[in-house]
Structures are given as structure tokens and as C-alpha cells.
Chain A
Amino acid sequence: MWLWIHKFGSPPHAYRLLGKLAPWFGWPALGLILLATWWGLVKAPADYQQGDAFRILYVHAPSAWMSMFTYVVMAVAAGIGLIWRIKLAHAAAAAAAPIGAAFTFLALVTGSIWGKPMWGTWWVWDARLTSELLLLFLYLGYMALRASFDDPQRADRASAVLAIVGVINVPIIHYSVVWWSTLHQAASVTKLDKPSIALPMLIPLFIMIAGFQLYFGWLICRRLRAEILRRERNASWLKEAN
């Protein structure tokens, strides 16, 4: 087990493995996202209350899910890096941040575009929207903090603390619709009993989420490779890298 971790944690090995893995994420991601887009826009029936505007769900909910998922990945990687001093884990956290920021931005903007016709407003300062906005600032703060250090090891440690403290915001986002009275609707899919959304509408949502997860997998492979290169710039194995 430790031998395996040591081997995977070695930069040249991880670099090569990530390069081999990437297409296995990338192509299925493309296929699933295209399938879900067609399914969500064409095949799924219109909502009886929201009409066709509900179709924004298929880009909004997966983005929002990924914004939180990516943050947890980033915080766990930062925690592993901090506790066991594994540089590759710090590199993974650094690689995840811009991806998470992009998903958070998408969740906020598509939510705003959906809010206008349904709630009559682009934005309200309710708990769900405010905590999601805070998530965007956490990502941006994390990246700014990293960029402010010249020494990568100090950047790793300081930004890891921020990432770990900020993870408290993730359950706040999730439960915000339960704990406070919000304009945002309560959860329809992640309920314990049974989802309050019809199956023909649910299937494309799950396909889209799966597609987004795989797309994230592809992105993290590429960005982590870039991070490894940045940190290993003087290593001789790079001569054979491609």
C-alpha cells in the first residue's frame, strides 16, 4: 500500500498515468454531455408550471453540484497535502481551484437567468444564492492567496488552510434551503425518501451530471500535469516527457 502510494506520488509516474487516463475521461464526457443536451432540450417533456424554462435545470443543477464537489475535492487534497506533506496532493488542490471557480460562476449565472422569468428578479440575497456567491469568493481568494507567494511550499500550506476552513461553506450551501426560508426551491433530487421530480426529466439530469463529472476528471488530469511540470521544472525526466 505505502509502496503504491510512493510510486503514484512520484511525479514522473503520476504525470504519465494522468496523460494515459485523460482520454478515458474526455471522450465519454463529450458523449454524455451531448446526449444529455439533446435529451434535456428535445426529448424531455416541458414542465407543467415552468414550461420550457425548466430546461435550464440541465445546465444549472450539474454546475451547482460540480461547484460543491470540486470544493470538497480541493479541500480534501489540501488536507492530505498538509497532514502527510504530499506535494502531489497540494498540486491537485491547486489544479482544482480554477475548475471549481468556473463551475461556480456557471451555477450563479445560469441560476440568475433562470430566476428572472420564474421569480421576477435576477438576484436576491437569500441564503442559497449568498452562500454560493461566497463559494466563488473562496475559490478566487484561494487562487489569489497562492499567487501572492513566491515560495510554492509556503503557498501550498497557507492556501491549504484557507481551503480547509472554507469547506464549512459546502454544507451551508446544501442545507441553506432547509435552514432558512429562501426563494430558491428545496432539494428535489438528493432527498432521502424519493426524488420529487419525474423520471423522464430526471434521466437527462443524471446523464448531464455524469458527463460533468467526467469532464472534471479530464480537466484535473490536464491541469495536474501542468502543475507537476511547474513544480518539477528542473528534473531530468522532463526531457522524455510529452
Chain B
Amino acid sequence: MDLREFLNMGGYAGFVWTSYGLTTVVLVANWLSARRVEAEQLESAQRRLSDKENRT
């Protein structure tokens, strides 16, 4: 298949590629934010625990 024809999406290129691009952005953003939130919580919980240990 011709690459230019494929990218053109029968004249709907703007609509099709915007939809897929946006979906990719949202899926990747969700993935990264879930990982970040978990890492932050783990770090803050462990910091709090080690603080508590140092105090006693």
C-alpha cells in the first residue's frame, strides 16, 4: 500500500490522526501518572516511617 495514501486516510487524515494521537496521549499520560502517584506514596510512607524510627 502507498504510504501517502495511507497517511491521507481517504481525506479524513486530520480527524483520524487527531483521534488516534489524542488517545495515545491520554493512555500514556494515565500510565505515567499511575506510576508517579504510586512511587510518591511509597516514598512518603517510607520517609515518614524512617523519621519515626529516628525519633524513638
Provided the pairs A52-B12, A55-B9, A225-B38 are in contact, do residues A41 and B46 lie with their beta carbons within 8 angstroms? no
Contact A56–B16 (Cβ < 8 Å): yes
Interface residues of B in 1-55 (CB under 8 A from A): 1, 6, 9-12, 15-16, 18-20, 22-23, 26-27, 29-31, 33-35, 37-38, 40-42, 44-46, 48-49, 52
User: Which chain A residues border B11 with CB–CB below 8 Å?
Assistant: 51-52
Contact with B48, one of A113, A222, A233 (Cβ below 8 angstroms)? A233
A108–chain B nearest beta-carbon distance, Å: 11
Question: What bracket does the count of chain A residues touching chain B fall in?
Answer: 35 or more
Q: A78-86, A99-107, A140-148, A188-196: which lies at the B interface?
A: A99-107
Contact with A63, one of B18, B23, B37 (Cβ below 8 angstroms)? B23
Query: Interface size (B, Cβ < 8 Å)?
Result: 32
Interface residues of A in 40-70 (CB under 8 A from B): 41-42, 46, 51-53, 55-56, 59-60, 63
Contact with A113, one of B19, B26, B31, B33 (Cβ below 8 angstroms)? B19
User: Which chain A residues border B9 with CB–CB below 8 Å?
Assistant: 52-53, 55
Q: Is A234 an interface residue when CB atoms closer than 8 A count as contact?
A: yes
Q: Which of B12, B29, B42, B48 has the most CB of A within 10 A?
A: B12
Contact A226–B38 (Cβ < 8 Å): yes
Contact A236–B10 (Cβ < 8 Å): no
- Report A204-242 CB contacts with B as 1/0, cut-off 8 Å: 000000000001001100110110011011101011011
Cα distance A215–B36 in the bound complex, in angstroms: 16
A94–chain B nearest beta-carbon distance, Å: 12
User: Which chain B residues border A234 with CB–CB below 8 Å?
Assistant: 48-49, 52
14 A/B residue pairs, CB under 8 Å, sorted by A: A42-B6, A55-B16, A98-B33, A102-B26, A102-B29, A110-B19, A117-B15, A215-B27, A222-B34, A225-B41, A226-B38, A233-B44, A234-B48, A242-B42
* 9 closest Cβ pairs, A-B complex: A52-B10, A229-B41, A222-B34, A53-B12, A51-B10, A52-B9, A59-B23, A226-B38, A110-B19
Contacts A109-B19, A223-B34 aside, 16 further interface pairs with beta carbons under 8 A come to A41-B6, A41-B20, A46-B10, A51-B12, A52-B11, A52-B16, A53-B9, A56-B16, A60-B19, A105-B26, A215-B27, A218-B34, A233-B44, A234-B48, A238-B45, A241-B46
